[in-house]
Amino acid sequence: MLARFWRSGEPAPPRLFVGLGNPGPRHARNRHNVGFMAIDAIAERWRAASWRRRFRGEVAEADLDGHRVLLMKPRTFMNESGRAVAEAVRFYKLPLDRLVVFHDELDLAPGKLRVKLGGGTAGHNGLRSLAACLGSPDFKRVRIGIGHPGHRDRVVPYVLSDFAKADAAWLEPLLEAIAEAAPLLAAGDDSGFMNRVALLFREATGKEAGSGG
Active site residues: 32
- How many other CB atoms sit within 10 Å of the CB of residue 53? 9
Q: Which residues contact 208 (CB under 8 A, 6 or more apart)?
A: 198, 201, 202
Tell me how far apart the alpha carbons of residues 198 and 118 are, in angstroms, rounded to a whole number: 22
Tell me how far apart the alpha carbons of residues 145 and 88 are, in angstroms, rounded to a whole number: 27
Going from the C-alpha of 19 to that of each of 8, 16, 69, 103, the distances in angstroms are 24, 10, 13, 6
Q: 85 near 76, Cβ under 8 Å? A: no
- How many other CB atoms sit within 10 Å of the CB of residue 103? 26
Residue 143 DSSP label = E
Secondary structure element (H or E) that encloses residue 69, with its range? strand 67-74
